[in-house]
Each structure stands twice: as structure tokens, then as C-alpha cells.
Structure 1
């Protein structure tokens, strides 16, 4: 069994002074939905940027200014992505005891079996 600890959510935007913004809620309100949408847009833009940078790196005629601008955009995108990961990581459920999170039956399986699917996946 797991329990969730209620912590303030790190939002995907900052104050005008650059300080982090937090939201204390059950995660179902307007601001929580706005934060979810903003994170979704930021992650989508990061994917688009990765594709663009890959093309730019393959272009032997790319200028230093183009590469510098791409690196600047990548830096901001990485900051956004790290902030999202931090925010989501703090909201993960916390185990209610100190037991090892690894499946207790893992020792009974061969190392080469790969991922195990629940029986319902085959029905």
C-alpha cells in the first residue's frame, strides 16, 4: 500500500523576479489544469526543438549564430523539462514502509526473462 504526502506543487512558471511558484491544492482546480497544459506544451516544444537541432547539426552550412541560438533554446528547454521532472517527482506516492520496492518474487525469476506482464494483459 502507498500513501501520498501532500506537498505544494512546483508550477512550470516563475514570478516576475524569477522565484519559483507553488500551488497547494488537490490537483483538480483551474490552476492545476493550467499547469498541466503548460507542462504539456513545454514538453511538446522540447520534442520539436530536438528534431530541429538534429537537422541543424546535420547541416554542414549551419552558422555559428544558428548553433548558438539553438543551444540557447535547448538550455531553456532543458530547464523547463528539469522543472517538470522535479515537480512530478515530488508528487509521486511514497511507500508506507521501509520495505524494498523490488518485487519479492524477483529472485525466483531468471535474469533474462525481461519485463513481466500481469495475467490480465493476455486475456
Structure 2
């Protein structure tokens, strides 16, 4: 099994919004592949939302409610993308040899 500093932050939260971690040496395991799939979906959704945000912000006639809804959606997706970035950053740090 992995050591505590090698736990993978999963792209979903547990009960009460607490982070979930995966402890495995097998990056091809079912849970690892599931996490990879969900991360890819989250990043894809972020790209689509970013495109929508650009269109909305370019529209001088965009309604205030529409802009507020967009801000709410962007906040949620930014949390997802940040979690993916943290998780992948930790994976890179664990998999790369230490430099002296």
C-alpha cells in the first residue's frame, strides 16, 4: 500500500463535504480509473462552461440573473478543477524522483 503522503485526492467529496482519498499502488485499479474518468469529465465541463462564460460576458444584453447563475456555475466548476489540480500535483510529486 501507499504511504500517507502518497494518498490520491479523489475528485469527489465524502459525507459532509470532507475530502476522499484513495490508497493504492495500482494506478490501473478500478477506483483509479473511475477517478481519472470523473476528472476528465470535470475538466471537459469546465472547458464548456468557460466557452459559455466568454459568450455571456461578451453579450452586452446578458441579464443579471443569467450572469449570476453563470458565476455560481463557475464557482462550482472552479472547485472541481482546483481539486483535480491538487490531486494531479500530488501524483506528480510522488511519482517524480526527489532532486537534490
TM-score range for the pair, normalised by the shorter chain length: 0.7 to 0.9
Query: Structure 2 stretches of 5 or more lacking a match?
Result: none
Give the gaps of 5 or more residues in structure 1: 99-123
Structure possessing the higher radius of gyration over alpha carbons: 1
* Counterpart secondary structure, 1:91: helix
Match of 2:30 in 1: 30
Indicate the RMSD between aligned Cα atoms, in angstroms: 1.4
Give the Cα–Cα distance (whole angstroms) in 1 for the partners of residues 97 and 33 of structure 2.
Answer: 26
Number of residue pairs matched by the alignment: 94
Q: How does the TM-score come out when normalised to structure 2?
A: 0.87
More helix by share: 2
Displacement of 1:58 in angstroms is: 1.1
Structure 1 segments of 4+ aligned residues over 6 angstroms from their partners = none
- TM-score, normalised to structure 1, is 0.72
